[in-house]
Structure formats: C-alpha cells, structure tokens
C-alpha cells in the first residue's frame, strides 16, 4: 500500500501542476470570461481551417522526410495525417511534444515495419525544421516585443530572415543537413542507452541505414513547408483575436508567435496547460494587450484549437489505410 501511495503523486504531478496553474489563470481573468461566448463564428471557422492546413502541411513534411531516407512507400498520406492528428490529440492530455513524437514514431514502427531509427528521424526532421523557422523569426519577435523596433520594421526583418533561410537551405542545403543529421545521431545514441531501449535497438546498425544518402535536396522543401505551417499557426492567434475583438493588430500577433512557440517548449504539463498560458500572458501584456481580455482570449484559443484537433483526429481516421490496403 505504501508503494502505491508513493507512486501516485509522481504519476499525476504534472496534471496537478497544470490544474493548479489553470485554476489560478482562470481566477485571474474571472470577471471577463463571458467574452468567450461572444466569439464570431466566421473567425472561429477560419481558425479551424488553419488547423486543417497545419495538419495537411505536417503530413506532407513528414512524407518528404520519409522519402529522403528511402521510405518512399512507408505509409499512405491519409495514414500520416491520422498519426499526426492522433499525436496532437494525445498531446491534449499528455506532455505535448513528447506524446507527438512518441505516437508518430511508434505508429510507423508498429504498423509499417519502419525501423525505430528511421521512424524517429523522420519525425525529428519534421519538428527540427519547425524549430529552425521559429528560431529564425525569434530575433525580430523579441526586438518587437521589447519595443526596440516597430511592428512594421519587425515584419520586414522577418521577411529578410525568411529570404536568408530560403537561400541557405537552397544553396547550402547539403552542409546544413549534415549538421542536422549529426545532431540526430548524437541524440539517438543517447536515447539508445536507456535500459529498455538498448536491448531492442542497435544504434550502429541504424546509423548504417542513413549512410551514403544526400539529404540536401529536401532542405528547401522542408523549410518552405515549415514556413507555411508557421504562417497558419500565427493566423490561428490572429483569427481568434478577431473573433473576440482584440485590437492588437495582426502585425503584433504575428511577431508574438515565435516567442510564444519557444515559451511553449518549456511547457511540460499536459497540453502545455498553465505554463504556456501564463507565459503567453506575460508576452501579451508586454506588447500592449488589454489585460482584461487576455484570459478569455487564450482560453478561447485553447478551446477552439483543442476541439478542432479532436474533430480532425476523428475525421482523419476515415482516411487511414491499413498497410495491407496501401498498395491498392
């Protein structure tokens, strides 16, 4: 009995932390929660469309990454879309990034006989380019948030960062990808030292599967797809802001997103609850948001996106193909 009692707090610690932080967050904005009921349906629908676009782009990116390592027919596009949306749905109740990576990797491993090394690499490549794009836009984001530059200047700087990134991945794609692949191998070797995994995976054998492949050709497509995904992610913030009548402006919200994405990396609670909300609130206050609107705005954003993910996860199940059906 004592063992069970000792394990329960650790097992549910992140959930307890998330609920405590969210309770405090809701209490802070309790006077304006009725604003959630005033959302304009048109803009809520546009937010849903953006989520659809994010899912489609992510499945396309994942497919490009798989083909770059020779897994041309690893999985049907509909199956990849379903795995992505299911991973996102699981991320609503578990730590988001870990659940997304785990669900997608194991889906390929168990359902399509893709080696654990290749499966994890394909997801790593998808997520890494998202991080690269957010990192490129982080400088103009921070400069704008702290008030060093005006929003219009920040947008021009973001455009310059995009041009630099596109040129780099187009003309220097191969050396850039060598660095990215090297980092993956170091991380993979570290993961393979975990007791349960080290008996099931041979890192040296997995490494040979990647030998003598040129990944440079996929660098620019992955970068462009990640940029498109970033834009749709930013538009979700904008559309919910418009649905609620938040008057910050699209430029400020667009520049807010890169910093918000990096803040969310440290949100280890289920769905990022509490940690992401409080950190985003601080950033919104910094860019001049009406404090009375922040809580209803972020709760509305969370609810609309969560419902969109659940609906799309259920719908994408209809597009899923069993491995035996993929050749049909």
Q: What is the pLDDT of residues 213-240, one digit of tens each?
A: 666 788 899 999 999 999 999 999 999 9
Most confident of 104-118, 208-222, 256-270, 290-304: 290-304
Q: State the Cα–Cα distance between residues 218 and 33, nearest whole angstrom.
A: 46
Closest CA to 124 of 66, 200, 207: 66
Residue 2: the pLDDT is: 40
pTM (2 d.p.): 0.86
Lowest-confidence segment of 58-72, 136-150, 233-247, 304-318 by average pLDDT: 58-72
Contact criterion met (CB below 8 Å) for 122 and 62: yes
Residues 6+ apart with CB under 8 A from 247: 290
Residue 187: the pLDDT is: 65
- Is the pLDDT confidence value at 110 over 50? yes
C-alpha 233 chain-centroid distance: 9
Residue with more model confidence, 153 or 190: 153
Closest CA to 242 of 11, 7, 94, 39: 39
| 270 bridge partner residues | 95
Contact criterion met (CB below 8 Å) for 6 and 266: no
Q: State the Cα–Cα distance between residues 143 and 233, nearest whole angstrom.
A: 20
- Per the rule left: phi > 0, alpha: psi between -120 and 50, beta: everything else, 127 is alpha
Residue 74: the pLDDT is: 66
Q: Which token pair is 254?
A: 């667009």
Place of tokens 């950033």: 283
Q: Which token pair is 302?
A: 């969370």
Burial class, 328, CB count within 10 angstroms (exposed 0-12 / middle 13-18 / buried 19+)? exposed
């Amino acid at each position: 009995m004592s063992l069970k009692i000792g394990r329960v707090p650790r097992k549910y610690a992140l959930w307890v932390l998330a609920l405590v932080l969210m309770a405090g967050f809701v209490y802070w904005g309790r006077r304006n929660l009725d604003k959630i009921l005033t959302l304009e349906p048109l803009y809520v629908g546009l937010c849903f469309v953006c989520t659809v676009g994010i899912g489609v782009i992510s499945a396309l990116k994942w497919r490009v990454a798989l083909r770059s390592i020779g897994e041309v027919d690893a999985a049907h596009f509909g199956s990849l879309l379903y795995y992505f949306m299911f991973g996102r749905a699981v991320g609503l109740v578990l730590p988001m990034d870990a659940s997304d990576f785990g669900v997608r990797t194991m889906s390929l491993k168990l359902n399509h006989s893709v080696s654990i090394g290749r499966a994890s690499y394909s997801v790593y490549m998808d997520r890494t380019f998202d991080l690269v794009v957010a990192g490129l836009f982080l400088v103009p984001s921070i400069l704008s948030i702290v008030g060093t530059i005006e929003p219009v200047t920040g947008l021009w700087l973001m455009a310059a960062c995009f041009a630099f990134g596109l040129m780099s991945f187009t003309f220097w794609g191969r050396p850039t990808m060598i660095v990215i692949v090297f980092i993956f191998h170091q991380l993979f070797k570290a993961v393979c030292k975990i007791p349960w995994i080290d008996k099931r995976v041979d890192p040296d054998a997995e490494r040979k599967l990647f030998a003598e492949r040129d990944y440079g050709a996929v660098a620019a497509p992955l970068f462009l797809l990640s940029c498109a995904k970033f834009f749709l992610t930013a538009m979700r913030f904008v559309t919910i802001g418009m649905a609620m009548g938040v008057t910050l402006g699209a430029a400020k919200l667009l520049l807010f997103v890169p910093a918000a994405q990096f803040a969310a990396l440290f949100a280890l609670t289920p769905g990022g609850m509490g940690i992401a909300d409080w950190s985003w609130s601080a950033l919104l206050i910094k860019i001049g948001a009406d404090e009375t609107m922040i809580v209803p705005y972020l709760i509305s954003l969370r609810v609309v996106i969560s419902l969109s993910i659940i609906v799309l996860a259920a719908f994408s199940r209809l597009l899923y193909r069993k491995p035996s059906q993929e050749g049909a």
